[in-house]
A and B are shown apart, each in its own frame.
Chain A
């Protein structure tokens, strides 16, 4: 994983069309956040707690979209681990905060579009987890 993966995911979120596509993109985004957070937890002692709970919230968000009735059946391949030169912990935290901010907004929008109450609830639940990650990793953490 490098910063390009985060940028690519941000672009994918922006291009997601419809509730099902957004759920699938959300799943992949949360998986990416979880993988990166797990990998970066050890790189900066002061960020350990933030990254550990980021990974927990990312798993929650992923599970939320996973339970949505309109979630497509074929999940993507898991996110790869970060390499040694993928950036320092604070930079990555900032990037992830930006990604989850975008993710939260798109999920809230999808919740507004969803006709199925199950989809609506899943998107709202997942959006809360995305917001929580933003608080954990954002500039005022």
Chain B
């Protein structure tokens, strides 16, 4: 089963939105229920744009170097929030026919839910710092916060605003004008319609200056949810396929685990010299095994057997890996001369490194008995510090 993408939720929301605006029952639908659903959708659209450019209206006016699409996102978001406020007010004052949600209301509610789920998917790649800035939590985070995604998402939201405006105007005219409350509701819906038009208009200058491309839209739809696969502990006898799958899982878990470690490294008790020393050594050994495996593959590339590999690319990959593990070896040599007061802390990273190391060794040497010293298999983590710690260098 493949992971859900933002495109999945975007398509769902778009389908529901189209179904809502093309529904033939808008003249007879319960105005209150439909207005509430519409308000929820429009508020969700505003929140999506708030994530894009985290500035307020004053900053938009006073900040000279703001990108066109950032400015568009802020302006469109402001318009959508106005529209949502009007829709909320309209729903409060309209006469409730108590006829239950019609198709349009159901589709609008479903569109709002899909959009909210898509926004949650984008947030799996990010975290908010105490300074209200985005902190990256995955490899996709740079893409999620990139200008192409801002363009594509802002343009999509503006397109929805354009589609929803006639529906809103239809709701306004569907209500009766018999009572003051109904008149107020009609007025609020008419104002909301204007704000939806304004949201669409807000992005036109950016669209003209820097149009959304097909690649932008494809990238937006391709964003997957940030997922961390479960650990696959090595077992005694694994096939080559199982070894490769285990290596893939450990590598992915390690890539996920490193996000956020820079902030934690300064205070976590797990940042000990022996942890760093072992991790650096393990990284060097993993890289060394990887280089051997790649060079072995490059020797067999092009010899048939259904293996279509480019020998020069494999050589280049092996060379790159060689540079990497050499660097890790230098890191470990540096840590050899340092120590810390606290010792003996197994971490998530050392566990994953152990799994990866074991499987790389067994795969590269084709030996299911290949073993490594698992980190801290015999350490007593309750062991108190032996003495006050010191940091010094030994040797030149």
Report whether B378 and A128 are in contact in the complex, using a CB–CB cutoff of 8 Å: yes
B378-A56 in contact (CB<8A): no
Task: State whether the Cβ of B396 lies closer than 8 Å to any Cβ in chain A.
Answer: yes
Count residues of A near B (Cβ-Cβ below 8 Å): 32
Q: How far is the CB of B242 from chain A (nearest CB, A)?
A: 21
B373→A57 contact, CB < 8 A: yes
Q: Specify which chain A residues have a CB less than 8 angstroms from the CB of B288 in the assembled complex.
A: 45, 48-49
- Asked if A59 and B277 sit within 8 Å, CB to CB, the answer is yes
Task: Tell me whether A121 and B386 are in contact (CB under 8 A).
Answer: yes
- A39-B245 Cα distance, complex, nearest whole Å: 34
Task: Provide the B321-340 mask, 1 if CB < 8 A to any CB of A, else 0.
Answer: 00000000100110110010
B333 touches A38 (CB 8 A): yes
Total residues of chain B contacting the partner, CB 8 A: 30
A121 to B387, CA, bound (A): 11
Decide if the interface of chain B is mainly helix, strand, loop or mixed: helix
CA distance A11 to B386 in the complex (A): 28
Q: Do B281 and A52 touch across chains, with their CB atoms under 8 A apart? A: yes
B126 to chain A, nearest CB (A): 36
- A10-50 contacts to B, CB under 8 A, are 31, 34, 38, 41, 45-46, 48-49
Question: Which residues of chain B are within 8 angstroms of A46 by Cβ–Cβ distance?
Answer: 365
Tell me if A122 counts as interface (CB < 8 A to partner B): yes
* B386 and A53 contacting across the interface, CB-CB below 8 Å: no
Residues of A within 8 A of B365 (CB): 46
Residues of A within 8 A of B378 (CB): 128
Name the one of A48, A66, A118, A125 contacting B285, with C-beta atoms under 8 angstroms.
A48
Residue numbers in B under 8 Å from A68 (CB-CB): 386-387
Cβ of B273 and Cβ of A63 under 8 Å apart? yes
B267-278 interface bits toward A, Cβ cutoff 8 Å, 1 = contact, 0 = none:
000000110011
Contacts of B335 in A (CB 8 A): 59
The answer to whether B277 and A56 have CB atoms under 8 Å apart is: yes
Interface residue? A78 (CB, 8 A): yes
A69 at the interface (CB under 8 A from B): yes
- The smallest beta-carbon distance between A67 and chain B, in angstroms, is 4
Residue interface bits A68-89, CB-to-B below 8 A is 1, else 0: 1100000100100000000000
For residue A2, CB closer than 8 A to chain B, the reply is no
B273 cross-chain contacts in A, Cβ below 8 A? 63
A103 within 8 A of B: no
CB distance from B342 to the nearest CB of A (A): 12
Contacts of B396 in A (CB 8 A): 78
Cβ of A100 to closest chain B Cβ, rounded Å: 13
Asked if B281 and A56 sit within 8 Å, CB to CB, the answer is yes
A34 close to B372 (CB less than 8 A): no
A131 CA / B6 CA spacing, docked (Å):
53
Residues of B within 8 A of A (CB): 273-274, 277-278, 281, 284-285, 288-289, 292, 329, 332-333, 335-336, 339, 343, 357, 361, 365, 372-373, 378, 383, 385-387, 394-396
Known: A52-B284, A59-B335, A69-B387. 15 other contacts (CB 8 A): A38-B336, A45-B292, A46-B365, A48-B288, A49-B289, A52-B281, A53-B372, A53-B373, A55-B332, A55-B336, A63-B343, A64-B386, A66-B339, A78-B394, A118-B387
Residues of A within 8 A of B (CB): 31, 34, 38, 41, 45-46, 48-49, 52-53, 55-57, 59-60, 62-64, 66-69, 75, 78, 118, 121-122, 125, 128, 132, 135-136
Question: Can you list 24 contacts pairing A with B, beta carbon distance less than 8 Å?
Answer: A34-B336, A38-B336, A41-B329, A49-B289, A49-B361, A52-B284, A55-B281, A55-B332, A55-B336, A56-B278, A56-B332, A57-B373, A59-B277, A60-B274, A62-B394, A63-B273, A63-B343, A64-B386, A67-B386, A68-B387, A118-B387, A122-B386, A125-B386, A132-B373
